[in-house]
Structure 1
């Protein structure tokens, strides 16, 4: 069964990883960023080796997000996003193909164990089944 494992974040987190800290988001050092990437790359390699990897990507910072709707004539209407009241956005994800939810949860726990600097937020990993057809259940 396929699951999407989602890592959350916000603009302040991306700023902190770039060395610009703020209240509740201490600046990350180069060593902190390297430790994070090393952890995630090891997880990715293990998933690929086990055959559970389908896809995974880190996403760009929220300030580069755009919202698209359709105008009355069907043409795209583009605006900045996400909205200011958005607390967290999708920062990255994996699609894994595993035997069951328990295995997806194990992988999510490993992703959550990624090292972060002292005092930095560490959001839970969202695990959601991929709908591969009618009647799919967790």
Structure 2
């Protein structure tokens, strides 16, 4: 996997994110002291789960020749009592049987980001200078 780098951007909290030659922004909302120029880190976390879910569903459905035309995945994250609570809504578009829909729901729970977020996570932090 390619490394992600973050460094200060313009404005009070904006961050420039780099993945190889890809560049994008993260920021805090105006009411949180940022300039609102990009998704905040939690929104990127939700985006990672949503994108991984729909990619996983597309790969599986294609491999199994299912009639899945689209998978619309919406993720909301709320923090309560020091617990991150993810709500993931999936809309399956296409000619699918009830069995196929049930199987795709099972597959959604096997996407790598779902597994990472629901499993044990270790973060090693070190200064490099």
TM-score range, shorter chain: 0.3 to 0.5
TM-score by length of 2: 0.33
- Between 1 and 2, higher relative CO (CA 8 Å, sep ≥ 6) is seen in 1
Higher strand share: 2
TM-score by length of 1: 0.32
